[in-house]
Structure 1
Amino acid sequence: MTTPDTQRPRRGSDILRVALRRNVGAMLAGTVLMGLYQAGETAFPIALGLIVEHTMRDRSPGGLALSIAALAVITTTVSLSWRFGMRVLQKANTTEAHRWRVAVADRGLQPVAHDLDLKSGEVLTIATEDADQTADIIEVVPLLISSLVAVLVSAVALGLADIRLGLLVIVGTALILTVLSVMSKRIGSSTREQQARVARAGAKVADLITGLRPLHGFGGNHAAFRSYRAVSTEAKQQAVTVARVNGVYAGTALALNAVLAAAVTLTAGWLAFAGRIGIGELVMAVGLAQFIMEPLRLFSEMPKYVMMARASAERMALVLGAPPATVPGQRPPAPGGDLAVDHVRYGALRGLDFRVASGEFVAIAVYQPRAAADLAAVLGSKVAPGAYEGAVRLGGQPLADLALDAVRAHLLVNPYEAEIFAGTLRTNIDPSGTSRTVAEAVEASLLTDVVALHREGLDHGVRDRGANLSGGQRQRLSLARALAADSEILVLHDPTTAVDAVTEQLIARNLARLRRGRTTVVITSSPALLDAADRVLVVDDGVVTAEDTHRNLLAGDEDYCLAVTR
């Protein structure tokens, strides 16, 4: 989501202002309808008091029938205004929560500055729970106003009967809100801490699930489980603290509201006993004293919900307000251009310099795994151009001058550990549903045996993270997705480490055939892929130390021979 309203709000208050401004119409309609509902609720005991007063004085059947009709109108108004008012507000609430979920998810998928210490599990919690709680402000404000309307109408009606009753309601409401506003600040700080701890627990369990297989492999699963249990226990203890604070708040609010209602009732009884008000006014006062507890309850709960919405908005601002890792240019790369890495220094790269011509198939044998990962990160735009020395150029144009979306469409870097998503084989290979080379990609990656194993073929279901696939099947599925994208320049990082030697040989031949005429770079130590390439670049200690065909390097470079032969 890239509308101006949601472009990098710096603070939680910015997010709340955007949410309120974007839903002014719905909130106005909801406020009118909910105010009508509260006014109708308030009118009911007032009408009862008037009916009692007139019935005792006039004793007219026609007047009684008219009074019953008036009560029916009030009841119908209360019912319909509540129904349609809540429909309007909840629709706006749900829509606004969806907008912020999309905004957080979109921002989470973009590279941001590395000082934002949030893991994927935390971003997920922010995109769900915090987005929902922030959007609650859309309902809170109209309910707050309508509750205020009910309290004011009650105070005016009681004040017309006796000024002391009206003042009692106004002063009592002010005192209740003063006490509860102080308590709501404690709720806000406790809620922020709870949200942070729950998010950390979510991030921990996400990491645990991702690394479950290797953890089992070296026996580290028990230590990992204990680590998660500690984080989860902290989140549970904080949740208990928040529940305790909320319980004290709710209990205090209920007690104070009950005290005010009792005070109004007793004062009205004393005034009736003293002859200051009539029987009808006493009925009205007692009815309003009972009714007023509900708007007072809503009114007194609003500060709590406001603080919770502010706490959630502040957490969303951490993601939405994070500065981007880079500010990309606006130009698209030239079609069919070459790829050049000019004296790049980053991490384990010590001035790396090479050029891949358009249509060439080049393999890069990197002796240090860290350098291979750093090279893939730089080429994949996961590192801002300003974070490394030198430049990466497409068709002679630096990446910093090119539009990021256009670069990613032109230059695809398939990482070593590519994600597999829940869905089907087809949706993993062609997520957009627009590729015309799915069949060729499946054949080239030798995923054909996986497709043939299942009656559904490409529509066979895939579990989250490819849990129902082997390591080799997941790797071939990832390779098929990269090939189906059919990008101008394709960079593969160790695409065959989980497959056997025979399969690897076939994939290498298929890759060279399918990508003929398209620029392809493979970062690998696989002899099959190295042999299939037009030429091989040897990278040692972050620089290119040799360049030739795979077979010539085998014959003349002993270090290369030791590094790549299996």
Structure 2
Amino acid sequence: MTTDQKSPRPGADILRTALRRNTGAMVWGTVLMGLYQAGETAFPIALGLIVEHAMRGERGLGPLAVSIGALAVIITTVSLSWRFGMRILQKANTTEAHRWRVEVASCGLQPVARDVDLKSGEVLTIATEDADQTADIVEVVPMLISSLVAVVVAAVALGLADLRLGALVIAGTAAILTVLSVMSRRIGASTREQQARVARAGAKVADLIAGLRPLHGFGGNHAAFGSYRKVSTEAKRQAITVARVNGVYEGTALALNAVLAAAVTLTAGWLAFDRQITIGELVMAVGLAQFIMEPLKLFSEMPKYVMIARASADRMALVLAAPPVTVPGDGRPADGGDLEVDSVTHGELTGLKFRVRAGEFVAVAVYQPRAAADLAAVLAVNVPPDAYEGAVRLDGRAYADLSVDAVRAHVLVNPYDGEIFAGTLRTNIDPSGTSRTLSEAVEASMLTDVVALHREGLDHAVRDRGANLSGGQRQRLSLARALAADTDVLVLHDPTTAVDAVTEQLIARGVAKLRRGRTTVVLTSSPALLDAADRVLVLDGGAVVADDTHRNLLATDEAYCLAVAR
């Protein structure tokens, strides 16, 4: 069964997975943190025993040396167990967070998209903050158990002095947890809503950054900022609500813990005054009453962290448990086959039919820009084959019968707005470092002048989204990357709209030369690229209305002349 076909994983299952694959680290962490808490608890017990021995007149260097040695052992145990216990747990926590980040990212990078009603910014938040908070369960459970160890040791020690003291600790702890477990449910609900709103704000920021240049171009940046401010304000208000709920929770926990500690201290004092316990036992009880505040505080905070981890796991399940939008085939086409579009109806395309023979260079002049975008999306398998009528065939085999990986290994569709990444010119053109046609791709795309401008050449630094490049340079860099991939079938969508006519002419010749003998389709209105093609398909109204060479169409088709002549 493939990953996409597995049964959905709810948040609880994600938490169980995290616990199961960190069992070893959690066991060792629990043992060491249990030793730490037991050692902390043993300290006031040891002090009480020392006082008890002193009160009985057991003095001398021997008993003193034993007492000092016992305290040294306790302190050493506390120090080392905390050091190594936290090291183990934090390593497991960090590793588990990394695993979930990778898994969420892997889902986003799958060839077949998942049916998730989330924007990229929301998925980013899930892959970072939610992954970290989900992994916290690996640390929370051992801390919860170790805190319970401290409470149990304290209750037993007090119970040995007087059963009423032990019973008071147990009953008080149970009452505190009952109250706080009810309050933690509200924290979980509030946290889920906060995470959703923060994710929406992150998605809005990602959209704004992606569209910053055009927003500035038509003066829409102020309206866009207002839209983001509204979303961010909603997230802020929810964060304040969560902070208020957390404040009430923590304040209540501290108050209840203080009441229990005071009750133990007063009860021990009354028992000592009534001579039902000794002075040494009173010292132990008072010390434990003060000490028990820390593990009780930690113990009482755990339900809150469990609810936060559960809320984050539920959000991760939105991505991990989402079904794929389509289940592709598993076939693989042979190299050098024809590309056929057979009666495809999708968006602006209406019964579109054409065939590109293996090794042919075909230009497609599309009168409606939206139709060109729809055709590029269909050829790139960005639209599932079952989402449109008709079929696209590669080497005679329908897209629906082929794996998406196989299609994209044979057919590269380079969008008109190809992303430019932070790095260098070289890493943008050849990300894998394996291209055998890098220099030819640079020359064919006329990126040579950009390379020559800089002393570093191809190693010239490129900022995120190509911020230090002009529009034409970014477009040529994207084209160079597509050509360097040297795929069996290359589809270019408006590759020269941002360059001048002379450069466009040189690019057209370079692309035709480099792609000679390889199947190439260019969606364009560029006269240079249309003239360089073996033939031109004219799309109007979503269907092919003419099929001829560029020069014949110029001589015989007036509408074509008006559409492409510059």
Taking structure 2 as the reference length, the TM-score comes to: 0.98
Tell me how far apart the structure 2 counterparts of residues 364 and 418 of structure 1 sit (CA, whole Å): 19
Q: Which amino acid aligns with 1:395?
A: D
The residue identity in structure 1 corresponding to 2:268 is A
**CA offset digits 1:88-139 (Å, max 9, x no partner):** 1111111111111111112122366685221111111111101100000000
- Aligned-partner residue type, residue 20 of structure 2: R
Q: Which residue number corresponds to residue 340 of structure 1? A: 340
Match in the other structure for 2:411 = 411
Q: Which residue of 2 is the match for residue 127 of structure 1?
A: 127
Match of residue 60 from structure 2: 60
TM-superposed CA distance for 1:6, in Å, is 11
Hey, what's the Cα distance between the residues in 2 that align with 1:8 and 1:419? 34
Whether the 8 Å CA contact 2:114–2:319 is kept in 1: the answer is: no
User: Using a 3 Å threshold, how does the CA distance of structure 1 residues 112 and 402 change in structure 2: closer, same or farther?
Assistant: closer
For 2:154, the equivalent position in structure 1 comes to: 154
Q: In structure 2, what residue type is equivalent to 1:47?
A: A
CA distance, structure 1, for counterparts of residue 6 and residue 453 of structure 2 = 47
Structure 1 gap ranges (5+): none
Q: 1 CA distance for matches of 2:238 and 2:111?
A: 31
2:397 alignment partner in structure 1:
397
Aligned partner of 1:36 in structure 2 is 35
Unaligned runs of 5+ in 2: none
The aligned counterpart of 2:171 is: 171
Shift of residue 490, structure 1, vs aligned partner:
0.6
Distance (whole Å) between structure 1 residues aligned to residue 545 and residue 243 of structure 2: 63
- State the one-letter code of the partner of 1:39: A
Cross-structure match for 2:207: 207
Question: Which residue of structure 1 lines up, in the alignment, with residue 559 of structure 2?
Answer: 559
Q: Cα 1:447–1:184, aligned 2, differ >3 Å: closer, same or farther? A: same
Contact 2:112/2:404, CA 8 A, preserved across alignment: no
CA distance in structure 1 between the partners assigned to 2:2 and 2:168 by the alignment: 49
Moved over 4 A (4+): 2-9, 111-115
1:221-236 superposed matches below 5 A: 221-236=221-236
- Aligned pairs for 1:314-325 (under 5 A) are 314-325=314-325
**Change in CA separation of 1:165 and 1:6 when aligned onto 2, cut-off 3 Å:** farther
Write the deviation string for residues 248-289 of structure 1: whole angstroms up to 9, x where unpaired: 111111111111111111111111111111111111111111
For residues 268 and 19 of structure 1, the distance between their equivalents in structure 2, rounded to whole angstroms, comes to: 43
Where does residue 458 of structure 1 map in the other structure?
A: 458
Counterpart of 2:486 in structure 1 is 486
Deviations 1:185-221 (A, max 9, x none): 1111111111111111111111111111111111111
SS of the residue corresponding to residue 419 of structure 2 reads: coil
| CA–CA separation in structure 2 for the residues paired with 1:254 and 1:52 | 30
Report 1:366-385 matches (<5 A): 366-385=366-385
CA displacement 1:122-164 (0-9 Å, x = unmatched): 1111111011000000000110111111111111111111111
CA contact (8 A) 1:112 1:322 kept: no
SS at the partner of 2:546?
Answer: strand
Give, as a single letter, the amino acid of the residue that structure 2 aligns with 1:32.
Answer: V
The size of the alignment, in residue pairs, is 565
Where do 1:30-429 residues align within 5 Å?
Answer: 30-57=29-56, 58-110=58-110, 116-429=116-429
Amino acid at match of 1:26: A
Query: Tell me, what secondary structure is at the counterpart of 2:277?
Result: coil
Distance in 2 (CA, whole Å) between partners of 1:451 and 1:215 is 30
Q: Name the CA shift for 1:118/1:30 in 2 (closer, same or farther; >3 Å).
A: same
The answer as to whether partners of 2:34 and 2:149 remain within 8 angstroms in 1 is: yes
C-alpha distance 563-555 of structure 1, shift in aligned 2 (>3 A): same
Q: Helix, strand or coil: the match of 2:381? A: coil
Distance in 2, Cα, partners of 1:154 & 1:7: 47
Query: Does the 8 Å contact 2:359/2:517 carry over to 1?
Result: yes
- Specify the SS of the correspondent of 2:134: helix
Does the 8 Å CA contact 2:114/2:322 hold for their aligned counterparts? no
Correspondence for 1:533: 533
CA distance in 2 between counterparts of 1:447 and 1:5 reads 40
CA distance in 2, matches of 1:129, 1:494: 38
Q: Distance in 1 between matches of 2:5 and 2:529?
A: 46
Deviation at 1:3, TM superposition (A): 9.4
Which residue is equivalent to 1:17? 16
1:271/1:228 CA distance change after superposition, 3 Å: same
Partners of 1:330 and 1:28 lie apart in 2 by 43
What is the letter of the counterpart of residue 305 of structure 1?
Y
Amino acid at match of 2:231: V
Q: Distance in 2 between matches of 1:416 and 1:397?
A: 27
Q: Whole-Å Cα distance in 1 between the matches of residues 183 and 455 of structure 2?
A: 61
2:439 counterpart SS class = helix
**Same amino acid, percent of matched pairs:** 83
Q: RMSD between aligned alpha carbons?
A: 1.5
Distance of 2:294 and 2:541 partners within structure 1: 73
Give the whole-Å Cα distance in 2 for the aligned partners of 1:50 and 1:5.
63
Question: Which deviations, in whole Å up to 9, do the C-alpha atoms of 1:25-70 show, x marking residues without a partner?
Answer: 1111111111111111111111111111122221132011011101
| C-alpha contact 2:4 2:324 (8 A) present in aligned 1 | no
The one-letter code sitting in structure 2 at the alignment partner of 1:500 is D
